[in-house]
């Protein structure tokens, strides 16, 4: 590629990373659209965890792209601010526990993420309430918002746990083969 | 053999801890989620339309949730898509606010605070003041 008269060479690995990121985003978006009719049952958490386990830090390249597409499709509203930190956090925590191999650990991990999703998403309400009223107002706004969504967090938790339990072993095997095919 | 025992233990631990956490959240929800009050209540609903014109409605009702109150309110019409979260209101008094069409939506406020619930699950208490405001996305 030419840049200011110079030839800039991208390594094969960098090009592969870009292509893999695109595939990650595409599969997440497709899964999201396919399961959109089920309330709080989603494959985004599952896929991000699996990608982080197999592709490691490279998954972090895909996350901003995914978040940007979500905003472009559904509008850049308050929920989009929540996406800015919840999904990267999920990938970072997955990378921290990357050495764990037990399916039960990942079921637990994914379930906990589902359970905490509402609490994580309540953070902007805390700041909005704090800015608009007072610290107490911020705590109240975040707490009531979180409590209102608890039934959905429980569904999210059970859904994440079940999806991980059913798909962890087969999807891990497929992704390992993909990784070997692309990078080795 | 020992490996199998370990696996079972991990499985049981994972399920038990998650079940305990779910139980704790259910308790928090039961204790802290707002409860509707039964009996005659006086409720005000104020609609602020796309021209910033305000129409107020005074309603006496036994309804427990906002949707029922809105349905009982003479002169107030509304419609929207039914979803798993209840009705997502897009039209009030014939004025349509669709984010995809005109970048606008109907905001619901209870006593000047943004409603945390959909109209199907928003509890109603005596003296409540609801505002339904045509809002343009910034």
pLDDT: which is higher, A131 or B111? B111
Instruction: List B57's β-bridge partners, or say none.
Output: B45
pLDDT of residue A77: 79
**For chain A, percent helix, then strand, then coil, each to nearest 5?**
80, 0, 15
pLDDT digit string, tens, across residues B123-137: 898 899 999 999 987
Distance CA A71, CA A25 (A): 13
Considering only CA atoms, which of A11, A20, A84, A96 is closest in space to residue A58?
A20
pLDDT of residue B38: 63
Pick the residue of B12, B14, B104 with the most A CBs within 10 A to test the interface with A by mutation.
Answer: B14
pLDDT: which is higher, B59 or B37? B59
pLDDT: which is higher, B67 or A38? B67
Per-position pLDDT tens, chain A of length 184: 555 656 666 677 788 999 999 999 999 999 998 988 888 889 999 999 999 999 999 999 999 999 999 999 888 878 899 999 999 999 999 999 999 999 999 999 999 999 999 999 999 888 887 887 788 888 988 998 899 899 999 999 999 999 999 999 999 999 999 999 998 8
pLDDT of residue A12: 76
Of A77, A105, A147, the CB nearest to B32: A147
- Type and span of the H or E element at B95: strand B95-96
Chain B (115-134) residues lying within 8 Å, Cβ to Cβ, of chain A? 116-117
Verify whether the Cβ–Cβ distance B7 to A153 is below 8 Å.
no
pLDDT of residue B116: 78
Of A102, A112, A145, the CB nearest to B116: A145
Of B18, B26, B117, the CB nearest to A108: B18
Is the full-model pTM beyond 0.80?
no
Lowest mean pLDDT segment, chosen from B74-78, B120-124, B130-134: B120-124
Q: Find the residue in A nearest to B25 (Cα).
A: A150
Which residues lie closer than 8 Å to A114 by C-beta, 6 or more apart? A40, A45, A153, A156, A157, A158, A159, A160, A161
Instruction: Tell me what the mean pLDDT of segment B7-34 comes to.
Output: 90
Q: pLDDT-derived band of residue B3, with 50, 70 and 90 as boundaries? A: confident
């Amino acid at each position: 590629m030419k840049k200011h008269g110079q030839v800039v060479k991208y390594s094969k690995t960098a090009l592969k990373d870009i292509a893999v990121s695109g595939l990650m985003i595409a599969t997440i978006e497709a899964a999201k659209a396919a399961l959109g009719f089920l309330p709080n049952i989603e494959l985004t958490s599952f896929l991000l965890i699996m990608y982080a386990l197999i592709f490691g830090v490279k998954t972090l390249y895909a996350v901003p792209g995914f978040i940007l597409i979500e905003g472009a499709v559904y509008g850049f509203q308050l929920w989009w601010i929540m996406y800015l930190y919840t999904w990267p956090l999920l990938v970072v925590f997955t990378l921290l526990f990357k050495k764990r191999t037990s399916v039960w650990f990942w079921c637990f991990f994914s379930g906990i993420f589902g359970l905490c999703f509402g609490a994580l998403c309540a953070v902007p309400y805390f700041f909005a309430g704090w800015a608009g009223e007072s610290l107490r107002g911020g705590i109240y706004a975040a707490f009531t918002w979180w409590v209102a969504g608890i039934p959905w967090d429980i569904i999210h938790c059970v859904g994440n746990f079940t999806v991980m339990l059913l798909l962890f072993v087969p999807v891990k095997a497929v992704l390992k083969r993909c990784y070997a095919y692309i990078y080795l | 053999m020992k490996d199998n025992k370990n696996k079972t233990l991990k499985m049981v631990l994972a399920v038990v801890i998650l079940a305990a956490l779910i139980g704790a959240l259910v308790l928090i929800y039961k204790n802290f989620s707002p409860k509707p009050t039964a009996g005659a209540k006086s409720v005000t609903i104020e609609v602020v339309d796309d021209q910033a014109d305000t129409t107020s409605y005074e309603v006496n009702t036994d309804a427990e949730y906002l949707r029922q109150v809105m349905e009982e309110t003479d002169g107030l019409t509304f419609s929207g898509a039914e979803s798993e979260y209840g009705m997502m209101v897009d039209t009030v008094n014939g004025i349509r606010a669709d984010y995809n069409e005109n970048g606008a939506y109907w905001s619901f406020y209870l006593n000047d605070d943004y409603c945390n619930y959909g109209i199907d699950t928003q509890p109603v208490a005596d003296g409540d003041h609801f505002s339904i405001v045509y809002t343009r996305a910034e």
